[in-house]
């Protein structure tokens, strides 16, 4: 299998580059995750090309069709990245008790709803003025809706504040936000293909809400009641094996329903948090987290073509979208956090800003339906990157003054 051998070399390069960049950024007092994103751009196919370029044996396997070989290689990377972000959210879930989310439930709901409404309205408004096309505007608005909570979760975990109030609100809001985004997407893509079937939309809504309710309410109770029976299994380290099965299973189920896979993984983690005291799952999952998560961040960076930033038209459009995207979340989520103090409002606003891959999926769908032009797709790509890269240093800055008892408490809990 010489074609696989070259991919093992890529895996080595990705992992080593991630850790080297992380170490350098830590020494510069910057978040390691930004180092991982940027090193991905650097080693990726658009810059140095150390990875992402199919080897000769791989290309031969696809009858010397380089484009196809590249696509196949890309899928391998995307799978590694997806497993990485699934493990990341699963781990965050393991550190989260449903009871803790429940204490901030109403607030998370408000942050989720208002944080969806503001960016949608801003994106829709801008695009309908510039492009004079309501369907296009609706797609852009939707692409600006959903937070990708992975980056924020990673930064908060690295700082040891993942168990804090703001983190719990953001995790709860990200669930709400994902469900709302899904519902909006199902409506506008229905309109896009010319059939906004109300039955289908209600089915999507109902299954998303049912999945969330079952996983968070019933799932946690089942784990609480029956998890001790895992000791009866013959498989070595059965609780860990069941945890992994649960993680992949709920991730797959969530994406089957149309939710983000990471939301399913987060639910799986939160369910198993109820069995944490007995089985020390966090300690066991931590090495898997450390192995896999760098792939998500480096591969995100690898997908970026820095040359995009040289086209002035795209750059202008991107700047507008970026500003509205950040403004939408900072104003929307910030206002919904009214009463928590200015610092918490800012933390929640910026923490909810990263769009990660969710916006890209929506924009890509709009593109495949012929609604969104290529230039706008590039601008959404840039928005996704910039909102993602900006969040970690801003969050670090906002937290830098916080030396509360809570932060100390959670830093003890947050690090295994």
Q: Which residues bind a second copy (CB under 8 A)?
A: 1-5, 7-9, 11-12, 15-16, 19, 22-23, 26-27, 32, 58, 61-62, 68, 71-72, 75-76, 78-80, 82-83, 86, 158, 233-238, 240-242, 244-245, 248-249, 251-252, 255-256, 261, 284-288, 290-291, 357, 361, 415
Alpha-carbon span 389 to 356, nearest angstrom? 10
Per-residue three-class SS string for 45-96: CCCCCCCCCCCHHHHHHCCCCHHHHHHHHHHHHHHHHHHHHHHHHHHHHHCC
Q: Select from 148, 157, 100 the least CA-distant residue to 263.
A: 148
Nearer to a second copy, 19 or 103 (CB): 19
Nearer to a second copy, 348 or 360 (CB): 360
CB of 4 to a second copy, least distance (A): 5
Tokens representing 263 are 């939301």
Alpha-carbon span 124 to 138, nearest angstrom? 6
Q: What is the CA radius of gyration of the chain?
A: 21
Please classify residue 11 by burial: count the beta carbons closer than 10 Å to its beta carbon, then call 0-12 exposed, 13-18 middle and 19+ buried: middle
Nearer to a second copy, 175 or 261 (CB): 261
CB of 154 to a second copy, least distance (A): 12
CB of 185 to a second copy, least distance (A): 13
Is the backbone of residue 254 left (phi > 0), alpha (psi -120 to 50) or beta? alpha
Nearer to a second copy, 188 or 330 (CB): 188
CB of 327 to a second copy, least distance (A): 28
Nearer to a second copy, 327 or 361 (CB): 361
CB of 40 to a second copy, least distance (A): 16
Alpha-carbon span 388 to 411, nearest angstrom? 24
CB of 355 to a second copy, least distance (A): 15
CB of 320 to a second copy, least distance (A): 27
Q: Say if residues 174 and 142 touch (Cβ distance below 8 Å).
A: no
The set of residues, in sequence order, having a beta carbon less than 8 Å from that of 22 and lying 6+ positions away, is 32, 33, 35, 36, 294
Nearer to a second copy, 5 or 99 (CB): 5
Tokens representing 238 are 């059965």
Nearer to a second copy, 110 or 223 (CB): 223
């Amino acid at each position: 299998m010489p074609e696989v051998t070259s991919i093992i070399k890529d895996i080595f390069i990705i992992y080593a580059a991630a850790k080297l960049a992380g170490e350098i950024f830590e020494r510069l007092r910057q978040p390691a995750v930004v180092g991982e994103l940027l090193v991905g751009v650097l080693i990726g196919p658009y810059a140095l090309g150390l990875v992402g370029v199919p080897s000769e044996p791989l290309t031969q396997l696809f009858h010397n069709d380089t484009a196809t070989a590249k696509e196949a290689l890309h899928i391998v990377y995307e799978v590694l990245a997806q497993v990485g972000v699934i493990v990341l959210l699963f781990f965050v879930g393991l550190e989260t008790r449903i009871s803790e989310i429940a204490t901030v439930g109403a607030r998370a709901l408000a942050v989720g709803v208002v944080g969806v409404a503001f960016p949608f309205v801003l994106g829709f408004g801008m695009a309908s003025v510039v492009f004079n096309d309501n369907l296009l505007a609706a797609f852009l608005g939707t692409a600006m809706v959903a937070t990708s909570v992975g980056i924020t979760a990673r930064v908060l975990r690295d700082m040891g504040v993942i168990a804090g109030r703001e983190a719990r609100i953001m995790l709860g809001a990200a669930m709400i936000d994902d469900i709302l985004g899904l519902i909006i997407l199902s409506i506008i893509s229905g309109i896009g293909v010319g059939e906004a079937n109300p039955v289908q939309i209600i089915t999507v809504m109902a299954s998303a809400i049912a999945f969330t309710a079952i996983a968070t309410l019933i799932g946690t109770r089942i784990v609480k009641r029956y998890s001790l029976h895992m000791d009866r299994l013959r498989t070595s380290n059965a609780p860990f094996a069941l945890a992994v099965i649960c993680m992949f299973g709920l991730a797959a189920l969530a994406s089957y329903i149309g939710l983000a896979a990471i939301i399913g993984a987060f639910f799986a983690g939160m369910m198993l948090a109820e069995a944490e005291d007995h089985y020390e799952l966090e300690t066991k999952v931590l090495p898997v987290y450390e192995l896999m998560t760098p792939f998500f961040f480096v591969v995100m960076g690898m997908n970026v073509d820095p040359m995009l930033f040289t086209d002035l038209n795209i750059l202008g459009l991107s700047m507008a979208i970026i500003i509205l995207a950040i403004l939408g979340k900072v104003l929307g989520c910030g206002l919904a956090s009214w009463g928590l103090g200015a610092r918490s409002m800012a933390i929640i606003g910026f923490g909810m800003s990263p769009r990660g891959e969710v916006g890209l999926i929506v924009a890509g769908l709009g593109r495949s339906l012929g609604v969104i032009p290529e230039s706008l797709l590039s601008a959404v790509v840039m928005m996704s990157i910039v909102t993602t890269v900006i969040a970690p240093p801003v969050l670090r800055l906002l937290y830098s003054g916080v030396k509360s008892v809570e932060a100390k408490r959670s830093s003890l809990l947050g690090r295994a």
